[in-house]
Amino acid sequence: MPATLKQRPPLAIRAHTATTALGRGREAQAEALATRRGGLRRNDFPTTAPGETPLDCWIGRVDGIEDSPLPAELADWECRNNRLAWLALQQDGIDAAVADAIDRYGATRVALVVGTSTSSIGATEEAYARLQPDADGNLHFPPDLARPGIHTPHSLGAFVQQATGARGPCVTVATACSSSAKVFVQAARLIDAGLADAALVGGVDTLCGSVLFGFNALQLVSTSPCRPFDAHRNGLSLGEAGGFALLERSSSIDDGDATLKLCGYGESSDGHHMSAPHPEGLGARLAMEDALARAGIDASQLGYLNLHGTATPANDSIEAMVVAALFPSALHASSTKGWTGHTLGAAGIVESVFALIALERGLLPGTLNSSAPDPACGPQIRFDNAEREVRHAMNNSFGFGGNNCSLVFGKV
Amino acid sequence: MLAAQIEGIGFWAPGLPSWQAARDFIRTGSLAADAPRRPSPQLLPPNERRRTPDTVAIALDVALAACHAAGRDPATLPSVFASTHGDHAITDYMCETLAREPRTVSPTRFHNSVHNAASGYWTIGTRSHRPATAISALDASFAQGLLEALLQLAAGEEAVLLAAYDGNANGPVGRQWHSKGLLAGALLLSQSGAETGPVLQAELVDGVPPPADGPLSRHAGSNAMAPMLPLFEALAHGAPAAVALAAGPGRVLSVTLLPGAAAMESVDA
């Protein structure tokens, strides 16, 4: 732990939501986790190449995005990713909570920090499949997709800025699969330093050719539904999702409805490889240790840990090894990617919402699809659901480039 | 008010392969003789130096130069990497391949396509376990990156590395966003560095940045990271200065440069 590490006051989580293959909003997520209803289906996501069939794999696709156009005044931002962002903003009162924060503090005091790995590259892929030559033979995007705003990584942040009217610092974090966990950290720093009074954090990632065929090229995609921590796991299932949370200084809340808090965070780098974890899990351990230290709790006080748990052979055994070294066997730790698939840059917010559901409802999800315990994994890794009250929950999100983030949430 | 001491600066633009070359250019109007087309990032193993994307090469080059100028060990530093578009050449390759033969996507090109490729190579090359981030915010990318670095100092880090870069826009996607050549700048920011380094103070306010017409802006203004150039021009002049950097629609990061460490003590933090 760096000597400079400061403990920090918890931040209130005033609203939070997730939309995944399990459905729209928190109630749909909680119901599916409780009843062990998974959201994965055979890959039916169309390719942009003529005559190419979808990959033989399973995906966590959000129903109904195709039938949910953006409102006319936001039509410049039309694309699958921003549609999912808009759907997610309509759930669980997030839009009203942001409007309320703008009313109370002023638009320039509400920050927007969102994470994504692909942003709206799906729209760029589609434009390439429909290129049109001009008189000189240069290839151009078709007119309906010649909208520069959707062909850049900040598409998501700029869209959310326009959709909410917030005028505080607005930034898109793109650290692959840790993106929308790191947004909590960046927002906490903004609020702690007094640059914002509230921050909308979140993340959105949608299925597209880049991730499906990219992960396939790395031989990391399973042809069956993913089985995190199972002895026979053989790769991940990709999913799409969106989610948001509104953070505020704890002292600004005088009513009883904001009992959920962001208590601590830890960030680190593996310093090892672009797409393989550090063999001893060094970066993962540093992130988890720093998050516990900032939260001011020791490992035995953690009640639930949502693991990164992608179901690739290397990731899971290394993460389990670190968890076994850090936590007592009583810890309930699980991967929820068997329910949603790996939602990449949205995994941080989705699985933070799952950790918050564990705190709110005492619902500790197990690990869907997995049945054969890997002897390399310790007793912390749970396949079955459990129900009991917990006071602190952690979420791990680890990304390409060895980029790690762990968050500790609490119920105060 | 956020503040930092600037301990080290790195810079790369066409014909200006170092911060010294950029300062000479501002003074004399002359480009460096025999400047390479792109840097050869010393952090990477020799066989990877040529293959690495241009954007990664310039980002690693300026980041290392800023650390060297400050005499700081890169492995000890948290880092912030800001880029408007990432690497257009790879975006062009990925989308073009997906439209034709998706099952032939190169695994290496795919893992280089992530926005945090440069920050990933940085932590791998320096064997750093410190936090690294990668952000994007259109023309506010540099200001938001600077803001994040300043916030990390405010949160207790002793020194933070900021690297900002964009490359050449390629192919059909490059006709949506025009960005020419390679441009990168890096700052090593600290809470209390060398007595002689300039001090930077910053606050977010309403406004729009004035047109940029300095020598670096005229030379490299067509690159997507050009909104950072007024700050580097002010740093090159070495005199107290005020610079307004694009920070989002109708917002600017108002930066004041003051000479020397004494100014640090006057900061009301």
Confidence of residue B193 (pLDDT cuts 50, 70, 90): low
DSSP state of B85: S
Residue B232 has pLDDT above 80, yes or no: yes
Asked if A178 and A403 touch (Cβ cutoff 8 Å), the reply is yes
Q: Do A268 and B133 touch (CB under 8 A)?
A: no
Q: CB distance from A406 to chain B under 8 Å?
A: no
- What is the DSSP secondary-structure string of B13-69? BTTB-SHHHHHHHHHH--PPTT--SS---TTS-HHHHTTS-HHHHHHHHHHHHHHHH
For residue range B141-161, list pLDDT tens digits in order.
Answer: 999 999 999 999 999 999 999
Residue entry with tokens 């995609």: A221
Q: How far is A195 from chain B (nearest CA, A)?
A: 8
Q: How confident is the model at residue B195 (pLDDT cuts 50, 70, 90)?
A: low
Three-class secondary structure of residue A32 per DSSP: helix
Min CA distance, A387 vs chain B (Å)? 35
Contacting A residues, span 220-249, partner chain B, CB-CB under 8 Å: none
**Above 60 in pLDDT, residue A298?**
yes
Q: Do A170 and B144 touch (CB under 8 A)?
A: yes
Select which of A57, A170, A177, A226 is catalytic.
Answer: A177
Choose between A11 and A1: higher pLDDT. Answer: A11
- Specify the pLDDT at position A75: 98
Contacts B116 to A, Cβ<8 Å? 174-176, 399-401, 403
- To the question of domain A11-411 being in CATH 3.20.20.70, the answer is no
Q: How many Cβ atoms sit within 10 Å of the Cβ of residue A3?
A: 6
pTM (predicted TM-score): 0.97
Task: Decide if A171 touches B, using CB distance below 8 A.
Answer: yes
Task: Please say if the pLDDT value at position A299 is more than 60.
Answer: yes
What is the domain partition of chain A in residue ranges?
Answer: 11-411
Span A213-233, pLDDT tens digits: 999 999 999 999 999 999 999
CATH 3.40.50.1470 corresponds to the domain B2-196: no
Reading the block at residue A308, the tokens are 């990164």
Instruction: Find residues 257-276 of chain A whose CB sits inside 8 Å of chain B.
Output: 267-275
Instruction: Using CB atoms, pick whichever of B116, B126, B127 lies closest to residue A400.
Output: B116
* Probe site for chain B from A45, A116, A171 (most B CB atoms < 10 A): A171
Q: Is the pLDDT of residue A357 over 90?
A: yes
| Model pLDDT, residue A29 | 98
Q: Of residues A16, A79, A170, A308, which has the active-site annotation?
A: A308
Range A191-214 average pLDDT: 97
Give the residue from chain A lying closest to B92, CA to CA: A128
Segment (H or E) for B161? strand B159-166
**Are A210 and B148 a contacting pair at CB < 8 A?**
no
The verdict on A111 touching B (C-beta cutoff 8 Å) is no
8 Å CB contact of A108 and B251: yes
Condensed to tens digits (0 to 9), the pLDDT of residues A82-97 reads: 999 999 999 999 999 9
> Average of pLDDT values for A208-215?
98
Which of A6, A190, A271 comes nearest B156 by C-beta? A6
pLDDT tens for each residue of A303-341: 999 999 999 999 999 999 999 999 999 999 999 999 999
Does A193 sit within 8 Å of B132, measured CB to CB?
Answer: no
| pLDDT at residue B192, rounded to an integer | 77
The answer to whether the Cβ–Cβ distance between B119 and A401 falls below 8 Å is yes
Each residue of B159-188: pLDDT tens digit?
999 999 999 998 999 999 989 999 999 999
Mean pLDDT to the nearest integer, B119-127 = 96
pLDDT at B269 over 80: no
- Chain B residue with CA closest to A131: the answer is B172
Q: pLDDT at position A4, please?
A: 53
pLDDT tier, B265 (very low <50, low <70, confident <90, very high otherwise): very low
Give the mean model confidence (pLDDT) for residues A9-38: 97
Residues B192-197 have a mean pLDDT of: 67
Which pLDDT score, from 0 to 100, does residue A8 have?
A: 77
Q: Is the pLDDT of residue B266 over 50?
A: no
B51 pLDDT higher than 90: no
Pairing mode, if any, of strands B159-166 and B2-12? Answer: unpaired
Half-sphere exposure of B126 (CA within 13 A, CB side): 26
Does the pLDDT at position A257 exceed 60?
Answer: no
- The verdict on a CB contact (< 8 Å) between A49 and B86 is no
The answer to whether residue A140 is catalytic is no
Chain A residues 284-313 with CB within 8 Å of chain B? 286
pLDDT at position B49, please? 87
Mean pLDDT within A274-280: 90
Nearest CA in chain B to A276: B111
Determine the residue among A77, A117, A274 to mutate to test chain B binding: the one whose Cβ has the most chain B Cβ atoms within 10 Å.
A274
Distance CA A184, CA A114 (A): 9
Mean pLDDT value of segment A6-16: 88
Chain A residues in contact with B204 by the CB 8 A cut-off are 108, 169, 195
**What is the rounded (10 degree) CA torsion for B205, B208, B211, B212?**
40
The answer to whether A159 and B121 are in contact (CB under 8 A) is no
Average per-residue pLDDT in chain A?
Answer: 95
Query: Which residues are A139's β-sheet partners?
Result: A133
User: Residue B1: is its pLDDT beyond 80?
Assistant: yes
pLDDT of res. A412: 79
Q: How buried is A138 (Cβ within 10 angstroms: 0-12 exposed, 13-18 middle, 19+ buried)?
A: exposed
Higher pLDDT, A7 or A139: A139
DSSP element (H, E) containing B230: helix B229-237
Chain centroid, CA B205 distance in Å: 22
- What torsion do the CA atoms of B68, B160, B150, A89 make, to the nearest 10 degrees? 130
Residue B196 pLDDT exceeds 80: no
Compute the average pLDDT of residues A151-155.
97
Q: pLDDT class for A250, splitting at 50, 70, 90?
A: confident
Contact A124 B173 (CB under 8 A): yes
